[in-house]
């Protein structure tokens, strides 16, 4: 039987209250996530890891504001406040997260010209992170996702995981959402339709 893995998505300071792109209640999930970490053999983390001046930052586009959308060579891109800049405190994992058990940290968004929501692909949908190969080589066929934010990095990771053939569960009680313009309802529907188990 395939092994299970827990993937903790972007539980970083900038996505928690007080951070540059804070998700409401983002730190509330930490006790549950830590409990899941303690009770799961294989634990992996993702870490948003942007260079300064990243193309997804509103500050990189004159006259643009955070949360506006622009067209990039790879498609529509929501513009964000500057966040999770490499080496900054904001990019660090939340100090309450029991992250030391993690076997692998997948850093994403480090290419200056392209954003990355999914743990599996950059937003061009072509450039892989290598996570799928890592999981397969380890004999892991089932994954559970928790973290931030439900409707962006968690949902895109879940959809890609299913596409790669992994049995995928999202613990909604272990996630919190940004919910821009109904994005939470939209992405929950997409996950359900794709066969993601929502708990």
Q: Which two tokens stand for residue 135?
A: 């999981």
Question: Cα 74 vs. chain centroid, distance in angstroms?
Answer: 19
Residues 6+ apart with CB under 8 A from 57: 50, 79, 80, 81, 82, 83
Give the span between the Cα atoms of 22 and 16, in whole angstroms.
5
**How many residues does the structure list for the chain?**
199
Q: Which two tokens stand for residue 81?
A: 């406040």
- 192, 172 contact by CB (below 8 A): no
Query: Strand pairing partners for 97?
Result: none
CB 169 within 8 A of CB 143: yes
Give yes or no for a contact between 11 and 94, defined as CB atoms under 8 angstroms apart.
yes
Q: Are 123 and 116 in contact (CB under 8 A)?
A: yes
Catalytic residues: 10, 108, 153
């Amino acid at each position: 039987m395939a092994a299970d893995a827990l993937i903790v998505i972007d539980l970083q300071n900038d996505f928690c209250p007080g951070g540059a792109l804070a998700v409401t209640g983002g730190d509330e999930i930490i006790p549950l996530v830590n409990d899941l970490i303690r009770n799961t053999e294989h634990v992996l983390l993702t870490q948003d890891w942007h260079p300064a001046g990243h193309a997804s930052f509103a500050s990189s586009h004159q006259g643009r504001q955070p949360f506006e959308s622009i067209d990039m060579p790879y498609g529509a891109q929501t513009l964000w406040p500057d966040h999770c800049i490499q080496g900054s405190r904001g990019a660090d994992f939340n100090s309450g997260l029991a992250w030391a058990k993690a076997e692998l940290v997948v850093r994403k968004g480090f290419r200056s010209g392209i954003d990355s929501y999914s743990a599996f692909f950059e937003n061009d949908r072509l450039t892989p992170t290598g996570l799928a190969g890592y999981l397969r080589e380890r004999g892991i066929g089932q994954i559970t996702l928790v973290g931030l934010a439900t409707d962006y990095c968690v949902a895109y990771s879940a959809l890609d995981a299913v596409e790669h053939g992994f049995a995928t569960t999202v613990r909604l009680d272990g996630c919190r959402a940004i919910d821009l313009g109904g994005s939470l309802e939209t992405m929950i529907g997409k996950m359900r339709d794709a066969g993601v188990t929502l708990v």
